[in-house]
Amino acid sequence: MKLARFAQANIGLVVLVLGLILLLCAQTFEVTWAKVRVDQVIAAIGSAVIFSGALQWLFDSFSKPHLFREIAGRALGNERLVWSGLQNYFTNSKTIDYSEAILNDDDLVIAVNYSPRLLDDYFQQLKERVDKGKAFTVIALADDSRGYKYATTWDEQSGHILPNLQKIERRVREIDAAAPVKISLLRHSNLLSYSFVATRRVVWFKLYRNSTGPASVPAFCVGRGTELFKYFWDDIECLKKEALENGHR
**Fold annotation for 87-245:** Endonuclease; Chain A (3.30.870)
Query: How many degrees, rounded to 5, is the angle at CA 185 between CA 183 and CA 187?
Result: 165
* H or E segment and range at residue 220: strand 219-223
Buried b (16+ CB within 10 A) or exposed e, 106-122: eebbbbbbbbbebbeeb
Dist. CA 64–CA 153, nearest whole Å: 59
Which residues lie across from 203 on neighbouring strands? Answer: 198, 222
All structural domains of the chain with their residue ranges: 2-84, 87-245
Q: Look at residue 2 and tell me whether its pLDDT is greater than 50.
A: no
Verdict on whether the full-model pTM lies above 0.75: no
Residue 133 vs residue 48, higher pLDDT: 133
- What single DSSP character describes residue 209? P
Dist. CA 209–CA 217, nearest whole Å: 8
Q: What pLDDT digit, counting tens, does each position of 149-205 carry? A: 888 887 666 788 999 999 999 999 999 887 788 889 999 999 999 999 999 999 999
8 A C-beta contact, residue 226 and residue 83: yes
User: What mean pLDDT value characterizes the chain?
Assistant: 82
